[in-house]
Amino acid sequence: MVKHLRVDREEKYEIVEKWFLKDLEMIDGKEADTDNPYFDMHFHKVYNLEAYSCASKYTFARTLNKLNETYLKKDLKIVNFDETYLNDDSIWSSNNRDCLVLMRICFYASNLLCLSLCPLS
């Protein structure tokens, strides 16, 4: 866990606490349906955390999941997250996920509009 400090115009980051990934039991995104940066990490104790944004919360969860799959291969519970944005193999996957999601939604919406304007014979 990192604490962000701003002293005058200088920004500093201080490591407050460290955990081992093997000790992580669950990540709870609290509400999958709302856009919020809050989540809980369950170790021997539950830690209530706030990410910089909802997108960074999902990026953090994806990173922990990928690290777990690569190195530990244990059953890591990730709850109250939208599965569409958690999986790298999903249709919405890319390095810049937010822009790609918006582009694909616009693309599909324009296709639906074109199809709806086509006359049926």
5, 45, 102: which is closest to 94 by C-alpha? 102
Distance between CA atoms of residues 90 and 63, nearest Å:
15
Q: Is the pLDDT of residue 95 over 70?
A: no
Q: Is the pLDDT of residue 102 over 80?
A: no
Q: Which two tokens stand for residue 108?
A: 């599909």
pLDDT tens-place string over residues 16-56: 889 999 999 999 999 888 888 999 999 999 999 998 888 88
In Å, how far are 30, 54, 100, 114 from 121, measured between CA atoms? 50, 46, 35, 16
Q: How confident is the model at residue 117 (pLDDT cuts 50, 70, 90)?
A: confident
The full set of domain ranges for the chain reads 2-86, 91-120
Distance between CA atoms of residues 109 and 63, nearest Å:
31
Domain at 2-86: CATH code: 2.30.29.90
